[in-house]
Amino acid sequence: MHLIYMQMHQLQPQLLFGEMDTEARDAWRGFLNAHAQLTRRISRDLNEAGLPDLSWYDLLWALYKQPERALRVNELAREVVLSPTAMSRFVDRVEREGYVRREPDPDDRRALQIVLTDAGVELLQKMWPIYRAGIEEHFAAHLGRSPAALRRMFERMADSATRPVRG
């Protein structure tokens, strides 16, 4: 009886969750683990240099790369992959430090844009050498011979996750 229970217990995950290719599942877990460890490491390196964590860089960079260095909160949230509510709170913190400011949107005076300040550009420039070193050491050094193929694969993954849901 104990042997039958053990055999049933070993099969239970497949019965509960369905079959999935083990290699695909393990690759997924590896991707999640690598992303978490790398971003934590880079954030820690930034913190040790007396700088804010990586999420601040992402917000500032999303604004910096815009022609007017400005976006509405919902657009900024999409760029940085946060909910609009979480982004609004995050912007409050960054604004208090003087790295962004809210201004009326010239296309719609009822709406506000988040605008990168000169201090925000300076912070981005201070953060970049540490961020770049982390990317080079913990990511680029492991890419092998086909970083463009890997980039295209990541883009396909992101595109597939942002397509409208079929109903």
Is residue 55 one of the residues assigned to a domain? Answer: no
Q: Which of 100, 92, 90, 109 is nearest to 68 (CA)?
A: 100
The Cβ of residue 19 has, within 10 Å, a number of other Cβ atoms equal to 8
Q: Could you tell me the pLDDT band of residue 17, with boundaries at 50, 70 and 90?
A: low
Is residue 153 one of the residues assigned to a domain? Answer: no
What local confidence, expressed as pLDDT, does residue 96 receive? Answer: 97
At 84, which amino acid appears?
P
Q: Could you tell me the pLDDT band of residue 13, with boundaries at 50, 70 and 90?
A: low
Whether residue 119 contacts residue 98, with contact meaning beta carbons closer than 8 Å, is answered with yes
CA angle 34, 131, 156 (to 5 degrees): 50
Q: Could you tell me the pLDDT band of residue 7, with boundaries at 50, 70 and 90?
A: low
Is residue 53 one of the residues assigned to a domain? Answer: no
Q: Which DSSP helix (H) or strand (E) runs through 35? A: helix 22-48
Is residue 161 one of the residues assigned to a domain? Answer: no
The Cβ of residue 51 has, within 10 Å, a number of other Cβ atoms equal to 17
Whether residue 60 contacts residue 117, with contact meaning beta carbons closer than 8 Å, is answered with no
Range of the domain at 99: 71-138
Q: Two tokens at 110?
A: 């009822």
Judged against a pLDDT cut of 60, whether residue 14 lies above it is answered with: no
Rounded Cα–Cα distance for residues 21 and 141 (Å): 28
Whole-model pTM above 0.85? no
pLDDT digits (tens, 9 = 90+) for 38-83: 999 999 999 999 999 999 999 999 999 999 999 999 999 999 988 8
Number of domains in the chain: 1
Is residue 36 one of the residues assigned to a domain? Answer: no
Judged against a pLDDT cut of 70, whether residue 5 lies above it is answered with: no
What local confidence, expressed as pLDDT, does residue 26 receive? Answer: 87
The Cβ of residue 117 has, within 10 Å, a number of other Cβ atoms equal to 18
Is residue 124 one of the residues assigned to a domain? Answer: yes
Q: Could you tell me the pLDDT band of residue 16, with boundaries at 50, 70 and 90?
A: low
What local confidence, expressed as pLDDT, does residue 153 receive? Answer: 87
Task: Identify the residue with better confidence: 17 or 24.
Answer: 24
3-state secondary structure (DSSP) of residue 105: strand
CATH label of the domain that carries residue 104: 1.10.10.10
3-state secondary structure (DSSP) of residue 28: helix
pLDDT digits (tens, 9 = 90+) for 127-147: 999 999 999 999 988 888 788
3-state secondary structure (DSSP) of residue 68: coil
| Region for residue 50 given its phi and psi (left: phi exceeds 0; alpha: psi -120 to 50; beta: otherwise) | left
Is residue 50 one of the residues assigned to a domain? Answer: no
